[in-house]
Structure 1
């Protein structure tokens, strides 16, 4: 489902070129859940952005569902994201002028899906927010906003879901709820899940962990299925 071949990222600064990612190669199978972990500044979020087509690689190749992101322009990557990718941000990234319902409807409308309002209400019900559908983001708690963001990410039934610190701005109680919801919807919809996290509990629920340090992939750990914790 995802294949990275010798992916690098270099940015220009006032002091010259800065290498953010050294050559990184790995694959993620369809339906697999993978956590990218490591210290702050290790390149986790940069890698996630490249995998999701939010940024362009400097060198190397990235294939999503057989399509080469590395050879696409921004418009082509945007189309691919719209068709196959969902993304959940740490800061929720909800449109403040839209209600929860309207935020969730937005990707379905852009994708041209039939009955976006009905689809949005159905998925809001699945995440326990149907009763808050007509509230604006500033009227929702942090946990409710993240649930709305998850609903928005899943409404188009993406093949691949990327999540950048999805529990990073939440307390322990809401983190547990979001963790449970992420993996529940991942299982029910068969979506490939790749997430960046500092949350060990969240990472331990994934099938595999990729550990990064200073822009390099330094370790790959398969989580024993028998020892994985059940999502609450």
Structure 2
């Protein structure tokens, strides 16, 4: 299985109170096409920062990030934006729908930006897949939180991305709606063969992924390695 995302010795440092604060420390891992990976860790551990770097929304202080064969670490914002448009989908904790657009128009948006034909028909089909075929004419403020996130999931898959990044996709939802959105993510992911990378504090959600990576104080470890090593010497194992 070919590699879609490669991370090599990635660090992220910011200035805080006149001092350098290292948020990420020499992260190394690779993600294959069609793989599902969860990044878990406590609040402030660096997992959302890492996701931003992987998606090209921010730049690393040092190291390399390769996405779909392209060196994100060498691209300017314009070229990173083009790469995101071509290969990447997003689902955010806060939904990030355009409030002035209906549910249907929100799903149509990435299709129209990509000059896809039959954007409306494709968007209607996606809304039907997420169980909202009767809510397409409603605006986000007329939808529940669970419905808004289902619209966001439909929008994320509309452009048929090679990789989907989800940042706490069920974090703002109650248990019932969280389970619905969770099921949709993995169902649509399986149908489309999309690579899925999600940040979550929900262990049950993380366990649905093929792999779990753990962030702790800016360092990255493999979940399976942690379980094995913790019984021996509590050592941390970097992902190669």
- TM bucket, shorter chain: over 0.9
C-alpha RMSD of the superposition = 1.0
Partner of 2:212: 209
Q: 1:136-191: per-residue Cα shift (whole Å, max 9, x none)?
A: 00000010000000011000000000000000000010111011100000100000
CA distance in 2, matches of 1:78, 1:31: 22
SS of 2:137's equivalent? coil
CA distance in structure 2 between the aligned counterparts of 1:209 and 1:50, rounded to whole angstroms: 18
2-structure distance, mates of 1:46, 1:199: 18
Runs of 4+ in structure 1 over 4 Å off: none
CA distance in 1, matches of 2:59, 2:70: 14
What residue number does 1:96 align with?
A: 99
C-alpha separation between the residues in 2 aligned to 1:58 and 1:116?
39
Number of positions where the alignment pairs a residue of Structure 1 with one of Structure 2: 222
Alignment of 1:23 with 2:26, yes or no, is yes
The answer to whether structure 1 residue 148 and structure 2 residue 141 are counterparts is no
Residue 114 of structure 1 corresponds to 117
Cα distance in 2 between the residues matched to 1:219 and 1:159:
23
Which consecutive residues of structure 1, in runs of 5 or more, have no partner in the other structure?
223-232
Aligned-residue offset at 1:112: 1.3
Give the deviation of 1:13 after TM superposition. 2.9
Structure 2 counterpart of 1:229: none
* 1:174 pairs with 2:171: no
C-alpha distance in structure 1 between counterparts of 2:159 and 2:98, whole Å: 18
Match of 1:46 among 46, 49, 73: 49
CA contact (8 A) 1:179 1:202 kept: yes
> 1:135 Cα shift?
0.2
Is contact 1:212–1:219 with CA below 8 Å preserved after alignment? no
User: Deviations along 1:88-116, whole A, 9 cap, x unmatched?
Assistant: 00000001111001111111111111121
Distance in 2 between residues matched to 1:220 and 1:7, nearest whole Å: 19
Find the aligned partners of 2:14 and 2:99 in 1 and give their Cα distance.
32
Larger Rg: 2
Mapped to 2, the partners of 1:221 and 1:133 lie a distance apart of 42
State the secondary structure of the residue aligned to 2:120.
Answer: helix
Tell me the distance in 2 between the aligned counterparts of 1:218 and 1:212. 7
Q: Please report how far the alpha carbon of residue 213 of structure 1 lies from its aligned counterpart in structure 2 after TM superposition.
A: 0.3
| TM-score (structure 1 length as normaliser) | 0.93
Pick one of 162, 178, 185 that aligns with 2:165: 162
